[in-house]
Each structure stands twice: as C-alpha cells, then as structure tokens.
Structure 1
Amino acid sequence: MTGLAEIEAALASERLVMLGGLAPTPPHPPATRSLLLVGPDNPRFWPHFTASREYADNQPDPLDRWSKRVFGAVAGTFGGTAIFPSDGPPYPPFYAWALQSGTFFVSPISLLVHPRDGLMCSLRGALALPLALDFPDPVPSPCNGCETRPCLSTCPVGAFETGQYAVTACHNHLDTPAGSDCMGTGCAARRACPASQRSGRNPAQSAFHMRAFHGKR
C-alpha cells in the first residue's frame, strides 16, 4: 500500500515538499481522501527549477508551466489529480485548506505563515489523492512567542500597519528606486519574520516572484 513516505520521496526528487495535509470535506475533487499541500523545498528548489526546460525556453509563465508538468506527473503516479491556485474561477480554497491542515497559521499581517519557511512560505499546488494517509500532528505557530513582531513594522511604507494590506502603497513604493530592495530580495515585511530567515530561500527566487507580483497590477 502506498504511504506518505513514497509520495514525499517523489516530491523530493523535484525539490518539492509537503507543507500540510488534510482530508477535505466535502471531497474535492470527488473521491479525494487526502489533499497534500505542496511548496518549494528551499533552498534546493531554485537551482533545480532554473535548470528546467520551462525556465530556459523564454516563454511566458515558466514556473506555472513547470508546476503543471511536474505536479501532474507526481499526481498521476499515485492515481490522483493536481490542483493549482490559478485553477478557476471558481478558485480552489487554498487559504482555507492551509489553515485546516493545522500547519499554516494567520500571521499578524494576515498572510499565511508556516514553521518551515515563515512568511516566505508558498504553495505551488496540491495533490488530490484517492488514498487515506496519516499526516503528522499539527505544530505550533511560529508566531507564538514572537514578541517583537517585526513583520508589522518593517515595511518601508507601512503597508501592513492598519491590519489591511495597502496594496497601492506597496506597488507605488516598488516603482521607486527605494523599492529596489524589496524587488531584488523580496518583501521586507516577509523577510523580517524570524522563521523566514531560517528558510534559506534564494533571493533570486524572491525577485522572480516580486517581478510577477508587481507586473500583474
């Protein structure tokens, strides 16, 4: 019988890691018994992806295309289906799934935070499998015991100070020379999280995502 270790090994071969798992209610897609939430295995992921054919072919959306190919292959190996945040509308409830998994938490700035990568966590997709799997016990939020909460005060334009993300202020800042730090190495508020600093995420990976984020205003 297929177990979680075999699935995790298949993900590891593509420098991916399971960041959470749950039994979705109702099953989505139908017949799904386990849903695995998957993200990059930092810092090993970025050099692996940049060696891919999708990264090298100069076509749009290389990471999305890579994810479709790789997740589809892994899901198919175990009789399942790959699901992506961009599927839709209607879009899959990744935020709700993450919280239901017990391994993601709502940070002080309302973004998801994970013990492994802090505020630098990201979900590339999910594997919907017709297998009943036993997942590890939930873990405490990395925000527990974080007294200084630097994520609230580090943004150069205070985009998170009110509790509501000031998207326009953020984008306007990124258009200025002063915004080059966030553009080149990732969101300052997300980097300030102590758990983020343990993730080892490649700054080039953050810059890639910032270009995609800022270019889709």
Structure 2
Amino acid sequence: MVVEWSAASWPAAVIQVSVAVAAVTVLLGYAYSTYHYGKWKRLGVPHAGEPTPLLGHLADTIMGRMALVNLVHAFYGQFDGCRYFGIYEARKPLLVLRDPELVHSTLVGDFTHFYDRNANKVSFKHDKLFDHLVNLRGEQWKAVRAKLSPTFSSAKLKSMVGDMNECTERLIENLNGQITSNNGVCIIIDVTYSSL
C-alpha cells in the first residue's frame, strides 16, 4: 500500500504524528517515574499512601507546603506501633527504622553494610560546612567514624548532659530577658523535639 502525500493532508499528518509521539512520551515518562513505587507493597513492608510521580512522598516538602521535619514527624506518627516503614524519596525507596533496638543493631552492629546510607553524591571538597559524618561516604566515612566513636561513649555523653542543661538554662534566661525588655526585637524559635 502506497500512501500519497498531498499538500492538504500534510498538516493533519504532522499533527497526528506529533500527538502520538507526545502521548507515548508521557506514558513512558509516567511508567519510568512510578516503576519502583510498588516495592514496599511487594515486600510486605508497611508504607505511606500513594506517592506523587517523580516526587515520591516528599512532594509537600519539595513544593514548599510542609517542612521536611514536620513531614517526617507525620509519617513517624502514622506508623506508631510498627518497627519500620517505607516511603519514597522521589523514585528511591527508603526504609525508615522506628524501633530503637533495630536502629542500634543496624547502625552499630551492621554499620559495615550501611555506612553509605542516603549520603549525598555531591563532592564537599571545597565546602567544609557539609563535610561531616552524615554526608561522608566510603573510606572517608569509616575514618571519621573511627575518630568520633570514642568521643560519644555512654560515659562521655552522660558527663555532657550537665553542660548542655546549663547552656539551655542560660539560653532560656537570655530569651526571657529579650522578651521582657521588648526593645523591638522579634525572636522566632522553631524547636522540634521527640523521644524514641
């Protein structure tokens, strides 16, 4: 079968092909952005509701509607009684541990398997502010952890509590003084506290 092109059929054919290509592109993009979203269900892991394509469960944070700490707190409360739950950071599945014993066994006992947990894939060679244990990877993480571990032993942490309480009391006194003097200074403090 030979298709003949005429001047009258040319614009209609281009529009039809363009619409078909656009539809296929949208469908492929949707499939790509939602491909991993069934992982927690398949594994039988408790998980948050349906994620937003491309944004996952962080859509409210990415769109600026909710602070990340509030979003995580909401998820944490939603899965009260569960030892762990799953969410999606964009397309990437994340397992969130709630049980302190599970957290301890993972971060202490099995740290050799989890030292690159959710570390950014960005180089911090020139920005020392972000060059800390949470953002380090691989051998660099292991070296810093080996240096820091003795600093945060149970005995040393217990000895720090008194100093931290004293600093906190001085901060509260200073803030109360600022509030009572009311010299045109507005102080806004956003404190998030939770206990396991």
TM-score of the pair, normalised by structure 2: 0.31
**Which one has a larger percent helix, Structure 1 or Structure 2?**
2
Q: Which has the higher contact order (CA 8 A, sep 6+)?
A: 1
TM-score of the pair, normalised by structure 1: 0.29
**Which one has a larger percent strand, Structure 1 or Structure 2?**
1
When Rg is computed on C-alpha atoms for both structures, the one with the higher figure is 2
